[in-house]
């Protein structure tokens, strides 16, 4: 388990990063989102992946609807998170109309209803690529999430249940990328962190 000092450091950094992102204008968020999205579309790992999960962004995250559209237009299988209690699953999104019809949660993000039957990524062959949100990252792939452990737990399940580790790409504003972030032994490292100034 994470030590008390690491937990405290994580919580302090979460507050700091949230304040930093809150200072960004909607125009700036849109500008950086477009750059990050273009970089993503050029990545061989994205182009070759057929089974991709993408988060549906909150107001302080890189905008992902253009990615959802691109996945669907290119006939890739698109999976999105469904959070139920302490568990996150990735379930299939079938079309743009399907996206439009999704209910909105208390987190102000769209999500399939808890009781709706949908194809589950892990039980139907796993994922090639997971696009990961977060509050802060290092260039080397250390990640600070929102503290619920959803993605770390899910990545662990992917490896255990499908015997393959999906490639992971974090999408970030440049303000979220730091020299170091506090981590513990349960935190997965991200393969590539994409932001405006990243080399990728």
Instruction: Catalogue the E-assigned strands of 77-172.
Output: 77-84, 87-93, 129-132, 136-138, 143-144, 167-171
Give yes or no for a contact between 129 and 45, defined as CB atoms under 8 angstroms apart. yes
Residue ranges of the binding site for substrate: 56, 61
Binding residues: 10-14, 56, 61, 143-151
Backbone angles phi, psi at 28, to 5 degrees: -65, -40
> Do the domain assignments include residue 163?
yes
Q: Is the pLDDT of residue 193 over 90?
A: yes
Q: pLDDT tens-digit profile of 129-157?
A: 999 999 999 999 999 999 999 999 999 99
For the chain, give the mean pLDDT: 95
Residue among 153, 145, 155 at smallest CA distance from 181: 145
Whether 1 has a pLDDT exceeding 90, the answer reads: no
Q: List the CATH number of the domain containing 64.
A: 3.40.50.10420
Q: What percent of the chain has pLDDT over 70?
A: 99
User: Which residues make up each annotated binding site for ATP?
Assistant: 10-14, 143-151
Structural domain boundaries enclosing 135: 4-194
Averaged pLDDT, 93-121:
94
Domain assignment present for 199: no
200 lies in some domain: no
Would residue 55 count as lying in a domain?
A: yes
What average pLDDT does the segment 10-34 reach?
97
Give, for 91, the enclosing helix (H) or strand (E): strand 87-93
How many domains does the chain divide into? Answer: 1
3 state SS of 199: coil
For residue 2, is pLDDT > 70? no
């Amino acid at each position: 388990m994470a030590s008390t000092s690491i937990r405290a450091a994580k919580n302090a950094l979460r507050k700091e990063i949230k304040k930093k992102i809150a200072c960004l204008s909607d125009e700036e968020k849109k500008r950086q989102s477009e750059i990050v999205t273009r970089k993503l579309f050029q990545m061989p790992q994205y182009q070759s992946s057929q089974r991709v999960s993408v988060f549906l962004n909150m107001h302080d995250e890189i905008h992902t609807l253009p990615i959802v559209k691109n996945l669907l237009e290119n006939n890739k299988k698109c999976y999105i998170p469904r959070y139920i209690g302490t568990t996150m699953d990735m379930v299939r999104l079938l079309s743009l109309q399907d996206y439009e019809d999704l209910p909105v949660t208390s987190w102000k993000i769209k999500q399939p209803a808890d009781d709706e039957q949908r194809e589950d990524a892990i039980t139907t062959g796993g994922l090639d690529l997971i696009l990961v949100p977060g509050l802060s990252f290092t260039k080397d792939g250390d990640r600070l999430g929102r503290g619920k452990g959803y993605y770390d737990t899910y990545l662990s399940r992917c490896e255990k249940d499908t015997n393959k580790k999906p490639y992971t790409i974090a999408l970030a504003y440049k303000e979220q990328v730091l020299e170091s972030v506090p981590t513990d032994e349960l935190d997965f490292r991200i393969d590539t962190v994409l932001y405006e100034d990243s080399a990728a």
